[in-house]
Amino acid sequence: MRIATWNVNSITARLPRLLAWLESTGTDVLCIQETKCSAEQFPRDELRELGYEAALNCSGRWNGVALLSKVGLEDVVAGLPGGPHYEGVEEPRAISATCGPARVWSVYVPNGREVGHAHYTYKLSWFEALKAAVAEDASGSRPFAVLGDYNVAPADEDVWDPAVFEGATHVTPAERAALSALREAGLTDVVPRPLKYDRPYTYWDYRQLAFPKNNGMRIDLVYGNQPFAKAVSDAYVDREERKGKGASDHAPVVVDLEV
């Protein structure tokens, strides 16, 4: 079973690339972030032609998450149970479902904007709610994983230059402590470091030639419980998909399971 996560940065803008990627990789389950579309705009028909069912939590031009599956899509939960609101709104940042033998979440963790901002406090509260929501599945016997754009680089080696990020979001002790709390709940980062190259970043800004210079960050993560981690046979960042015209600023992260 092949499962992946990808922040597509607008599913309508990325649709031709997305369809081609799904067909060429044979991915069974894809967790998508930043759909940036309404439910009516979501390309269900095009995805159905490739054999994918879709579950989505999206409401317009910002945020939005989805799950695509060829192996079933059951017990769908849209949203983060007990999650905080931002400026009175429950943002569409989480969706979970059972896909074949595994239970999976697609999450788009809030960015945080800057340390001390209300959005940063919201981000930390969102992480707390996520930990509480996944605790039971994380400790269970069924393969379970939370995949997505976590908007946190787990360690200094996961950013191209730690000095550049000093005092900024994505690398603060509080954000990294939130990841540690998820691990304490029974989840582990199942994508090993290093992979097939020294710095397996997943995100590169569009500006200042960040991708050609490999000035990136590893913020798209796959956190799985013990049964999930034991089933992993391979994992990689599809860096090639970040290349070329019309690419997302994130690359897909792919995990193969023997289940």
Q: Is 149 a catalytic residue?
A: yes
Is 250 annotated as ligand-binding?
A: yes
Q: Dihedral sign for Cα 219, 83, 27, 246, please.
A: negative
DSSP per-residue letters across 71-139:
S--EEEEES-TTPPPBTTB----EEEEEETTEEEEEEE-----STTSHHHHHHHHHHHHHHHHHHHHHT
Q: Confirm whether 223 is a catalytic residue.
A: no
**CA-to-CA distance for 253 and 148, rounded, in angstroms?**
9
| Ligand-binding site membership of 87 (annotated) | no
* Separation between Cα atoms, residue 188 and residue 37, nearest integer Å: 31
Round to whole Å and give the CA distance between 172 and 25. Answer: 35
* Residue 117 marked ligand-binding: no
Report the 10 Å Cβ neighbour count for 128.
14
Amino acid at 25: T
CA distance 38 to 59: 5
Q: Within 2-87, where are the H helices?
A: 11-25, 44-49
Could you tell me the sign of the dihedral formed by the alpha carbons of 167, 116, 60, 218, in that order? positive
Q: Indicate which residue of 28, 52, 108, 201 is catalytic.
A: 108
Q: Is 234 annotated as a binding residue?
A: no
| Catalytic hit among 158, 189, 220, 250 | 250
Q: Of residues 28, 137, 149, 158, which has the active-site annotation? A: 149
CA distances in angstroms from 58 to 10, 191, 236, 254, listed in the order given: 11, 27, 27, 23
Tell me whether residue 9 is annotated as binding.
Answer: no
Residue 7 annotated as binding site: yes
- Active-site residue, 250 included: yes
Alpha carbon 214 to its chain centroid, in Å, reads 20
| Residue list, annotated binding site for Mg(2+) | 7, 34, 149, 151, 249-250
| Residues acting as catalytic residues | 108, 149, 250
| Residue list, annotated binding site | 7, 34, 149, 151, 249-250
